[in-house]
Amino acid sequence: MRDVTLTDVELIGAFGDADRTFLMTEEAFQAFYEQTARPVWAYLARITGDGRLADDLLQEAYYRFLRSRADFESDDHRRNYLFRIATNLVRDHRRRRGHEERRLSDDSQVPGMSGGPHEGDRAVRRLDLARAMDQMKPRERSLLWLAYAQGCSHEEIADVLGLKKASLKALLFRARKRLLALLGTTGIRGGRR
Amino acid sequence: MSAPECSREQDVINAIVTGQWPDRCEASLAVHAAECAVCKELVEVTSVMRLDRDGLHEEMSLPSAGQMWWRAAIRARLEASQRAAQPFSWLFGVSVACAAGLAIAAVQLLWSPVHLAWGSSSLSAWGAWLGLGELVRLLPTLKDLAPLTTTGMLVFLAATACLLLAPLALYFALSDE
């Protein structure tokens, strides 16, 4: 049968093809990537609890974004679409793993748990948050992250998560209460602040 | 549980998200947040989440935009090649299926002289010994296949050639593109 591996010549040709295959130009992609990669990675890392998985899902999210034929009304719409792809990838991944939830441990793969003496309190608060988030439902994690870490509006959150805007307030309220309860048990509310 | 609301919720979130909280935001907002239970909660949750987000942003190491583009371009090319090769995989499968079918037909044709030469009685005896008595009686004899001996055989050979060679010819004709 025909071999489908790429020769060097084909690899070089891939760049020319990319401009035709993807709706976005390389320059436009670069600007978009610089603007969105860090927030999307942070979102993926915190809702999966796994930095390496976040790396893989980030790559996949941008690939799917580039392959999509969607029209975008604005930069915000484009960014929300990317977050939506990322959310769906996490859902698919979770489904494939048969709802086996990964639990964060002290040697978590998500960076940011280390720091110098001045960073000590900050690192502890972040570790507490990571543990609390890990005990929450996936949808609650997404809701909280988008609302309070990303500062997304309710319309944007509804768009990204595929939820009705009317139900968001109650969902956010419950998720927030739960997070605070969990943080209370992990120490943040117990006087570390 | 109904969600208590505050008209200044979004102002508090925006102040924290934009880094204005607590020193550079409106003084009235800070005073309000200190007294309002809803906003107090919001400050607590948003502050710790922004702290975590900022920490993640500082520490993550991501591939460059160029690398991401390069990988996506290669993957798109690879997937296009795989899609292009798919019809050939189908053709190959069809050829193998045809060849297998013809091989079975040929074995059945060749079986008849063996059947005749060996003698139905001895074959029946073997068949009975193996518990295949009924099956052996149903096998075709040379007499049954007499119409196939001359013209039938030629048609059979021509069909074999077509079925085997046509997919191969098609494959080689299209593989250069």
Q: What is the ipTM of this complex?
A: 0.76
Give phi and psi for B3, each to the nearest 5. Answer: -90, 115
Which residues in chain B are closer than 8 Å to A34, comparing Cβ atoms?
65
Which residues in chain B are closer than 8 Å to A132, comparing Cβ atoms?
none
Which residues in chain B are closer than 8 Å to A129, comparing Cβ atoms?
48-49, 51-52
Mean pLDDT of B121-139: 58
For residues B124 and B136, the answer to whether their CB atoms sit within 8 Å is yes
pLDDT tens track, chain A, 193 positions: 444 455 555 555 555 566 667 888 899 999 999 999 999 999 999 999 889 999 999 999 999 999 998 888 898 999 999 999 999 999 999 988 865 555 544 445 555 455 454 567 888 889 999 999 999 999 999 999 999 999 999 999 999 999 998 999 999 999 999 999 999 855 444 444 4
- Per-residue confidence at B177, pLDDT binned at 50, 70, 90? very low
For residues A37 and A58, the answer to whether their CB atoms sit within 8 Å is yes
Q: What percent of chain B has pLDDT over 70?
A: 72
Least CB-CB distance to B45: which of A4, A26, A179?
Answer: A179
Return the residue of A nearest to B18 by Cα. Answer: A151
Helical (H) or strand (E) element with B86: helix B65-118
Domains and CATH numbers, chain A: 8-190 (1.20.140.160)
Residue B161 has pLDDT above 50, yes or no: yes
Which residues in chain A are closer than 8 Å to B51, comparing Cβ atoms?
122, 125-126, 129
Helix (H, G, I), strand (E, B) or coil at A151: coil
Q: Highest mean pLDDT: which of A38-47, A96-105, B80-89, B90-99? A: A38-47
CA Rg value for chain B: 40
- Residue type, position B112, single letter: S
Separation of alpha carbons A141 and A158, rounded Å = 14
Q: Residue B87's pLDDT is what?
A: 78
Q: What count of CB pairs under 8 Å joins A to B?
A: 160
Least CB-CB distance to B73: which of A17, A30, A33?
Answer: A17
Q: Residue A70's pLDDT is what?
A: 85
Which residues in chain A are closer than 8 Å to B5, comparing Cβ atoms?
169
Judged by CB atoms closer than 8 Å, whether chains meet at B48 and A183 is answered as: yes
Judged by CB atoms closer than 8 Å, whether chains meet at A122 and B51 is answered as: yes
Judged by CB atoms closer than 8 Å, whether chains meet at A148 and B45 is answered as: yes
Judged by CB atoms closer than 8 Å, whether chains meet at A126 and B52 is answered as: yes
Task: Kindly report the nearest CA distance between residue B31 and chain A, in angstroms.
Answer: 19
Helix (H, G, I), strand (E, B) or coil at A105: coil
Q: What percent of chain B has pLDDT over 90?
A: 19
Separation of alpha carbons A161 and A172, rounded Å = 13
For residues A128 and A186, the answer to whether their CB atoms sit within 8 Å is yes
Q: Residue A2's pLDDT is what?
A: 46
CA Rg value for chain A: 19
Judged by CB atoms closer than 8 Å, whether chains meet at A6 and B81 is answered as: yes
Residues sharing a CB contact under 8 Å with residue A144, sequence separation 6 or more, in sequence order: A133, A136, A172, A175, A176, A179, B45, B49
Which residues in chain B are closer than 8 Å to A41, comparing Cβ atoms?
56, 60, 62
Q: Residue B163's pLDDT is what?
A: 73
The pLDDT tens digits for B45-57 are: 999 999 999 999 9
